[in-house]
Amino acid sequence: MTTTFANPDIAQRTQGNLVILSRYSLSTYVGSLQGTTLALQTVVRDDAVEKKAFQTNTGHFWGTLEGFEPGSFSFIVHNVVDRSGCPCPPGPTPFEAKFVVVESTGSGGLEGICGGGTLKTAGTPSTDYDYTFRFGKDCKANN
């Protein structure tokens, strides 16, 4: 996956030691999940006490999954970034995130999709993904 950020941020302000910002991100997935996401990221960054950034991304994916017809779905990601090695950049920062498909938002070849998983990196350019997707009666809302 590669991600780019719209520049400048939508908004950014400080509250005490916290930096609060909103921005758009555009990501491209390759592999069994192939397509594009557009997300609105809301970030609270604490570089003084916790030395972490807490991020919620809401967005939309469009593309294909393992040969299914093209389709789309909405998702939510909760991401915790380790900023103890900052000032950042020069390089990627370690993070762990949870990715959840919003049930009943799938359309086209991804209609009825549910699931999600985790993603993480140790601060290297590569990211490890562990996603599980289900369809139809395997989804709670469809039982």
pLDDT band at residue 141, thresholds of 50, 70 and 90? low
Position 5, amino acid: F
What is the model's pTM?
Answer: 0.88
87-126: string of b/e by CB count within 10 Å (b at 16+)?
A: eeeeeebebebebebbbebbeeebbbbbbbeebebeeeee
CATH number of the structural domain spanning residue 58: 2.40.350.10
Q: Who contacts 19 (Cβ-Cβ below 8 Å, separation ≥6)? A: 12, 13, 43, 44, 45, 47
- Domain membership of residue 45 as a residue range: 2-142
Number of structural domains (the chain) is 1
- pLDDT tens digits, 92-136: 788 999 999 999 999 999 999 999 999 998 767 778 889 999 998
Q: Which two tokens stand for residue 1?
A: 């996956």
**Nearest partner of 54 among 29, 11, 18, 17, judged by Cα:** 18
- Is the four-CA dihedral 34, 35, 39, 44 of positive or negative sign? positive
- pLDDT tens digits, 23-66: 999 999 888 889 999 999 999 999 999 999 999 999 999 999 99
